[in-house]
Amino acid sequence: MLLHLTQTHQQLQETAREFADKILIPSADRCDRAEEYPAENVAKLAELGFLGILIPEQFGGAGLDNVALSLALEEINRGCASTGVTLSVHNSLLSNPLLNFGTPEQHERYLPKLASGEWLGAYAITEPDYGSDAASIETSCRREGDEYILNGTKAWITNGSHAGVIITFATLDPSLGPKGVCAFVIESTFPGFQVGKKEKKLGIRGSDTVQLVFDEMRVPAANLLGEEGEGFKIAMHTLDGGRIGIATQAVGIAQACLDATVAFAGTKTQFGRPLPASQLVAHRVADMATEIEAARLLVMRAAMLKDAGLPHGKEASMAKLYASELANRCARTAVEIHGGAALGRGAPVERLLRDAKITEIYEGTSEIQRLVISRHCFPRDKK
């Protein structure tokens, strides 16, 4: 598939690349070591319009497409994966479903503040006992007059303690399975909303990841997203876009590994010869570069299909599976070529190795992606 980038796409990509080089790369290790949410980076991205990439111009956004979002996310994640996942969740998992399923009133209330960065967005579906099995969530909801009352705990929520608006999911009745799941747009100021423990993580440690606790949380009925019982459908539709976002993150991390490896090898000699002259090193770098390009094209194909309004679940899962496993291969290769220089804390490739792992886990593990892809490969029962 030939990818044609418009002038707008190219300008956005160049802006993101410059921001990554000048702002993110110099600060990434500090955010990681301090486990510090990159508030300044996010504020600067908001000023540049990156928090409203998908939001229409009438609400203060850029009104761009998923190809544009992927171009931006790759560069941002190349610079700092913690900042990248913050941006990805805000755009892919919060703004996108709100645009697709929200009411005009919800659009008017939330989209301008999301586009400007006044409110950061989060997406809360995972629970302590349920991750990939979204149909089995235990957070409950019940209707009381013109409000819903939610009770339960969400876990591993990116942006959770900094978000002003969150899309969350609860069930009317666990016995209904997927048909009982409802989606809600909640605000962090709603009565009964609490931020729980902050997680200590292996990677993307600058990203804010917390539990959210709903204790008789009162949500206006007008904040139901879609209809009652449509929550599971909304969740699955949203996760397709989220998988494109995480696949893009993985490509950015992989590219950062390649960049670091080329820069390191170009300054080193071994047995009296420049390291790039080693066939072993040269071939591994060539493999990295080739596979990164393949992953990038898988991501762009999924993004283009989504922009065209065409089915893209299989393609999103393919991109996420391939890119995330590639990011981990590239990170291991980078560490091995760096040798002892990679083992110290603060070495960029050491951080990239830790950051890469999560891409195989969130937005559906590699096993879930293979399950999704296989279901598209086998003929469906038409009975």
How far apart, in whole angstroms, are the C-alpha atoms of residue 306 and residue 286? 31
Instruction: Kindly report the backbone phi and psi dihedral angles of residue 64, in degrees, each rounded to the nearest multiple of 5, phi listed first.
Output: -95, -175
For residue 279, how many other CB atoms are within 10 A of its CB? 8
Buried/exposed code over 31-51 (b: 16+ C-beta within 10 A; e: otherwise): bbeebebbeebbebbbeebbb
Instruction: Kindly report the backbone phi and psi dihedral angles of residue 124, in degrees, each rounded to the nearest multiple of 5, phi listed first.
Output: -120, 100
How far apart, in whole angstroms, are the C-alpha atoms of residue 344 and residue 202? 15
Buried/exposed code over 340-371 (b: 16+ C-beta within 10 A; e: otherwise): eebeeeebbbbbbbbbbbbbbebbbbbebbee
How far apart, in whole angstroms, are the C-alpha atoms of residue 65 and residue 105? 23
**Catalytic residue status for 363:** yes
Torsion of CA 20, 68, 160, 240, to 10 degrees: -130
Pairing outcome for strands 120-124 and 163-171: parallel
SS3 137: coil
Its sign, for the CA torsion 176, 182, 188, 191, is negative
What is residue 203's DSSP assignment? S
Active-site residue among 74, 315, 325, 363?
Answer: 363
How far apart, in whole angstroms, are the C-alpha atoms of residue 55 and residue 329? 35
Which residue's entry shows tokens 């690349």? 17
What value, to the nearest 5°, has the Cα angle with vertex 154 and ends 140 and 221? 45
Catalytically annotated residues: 363
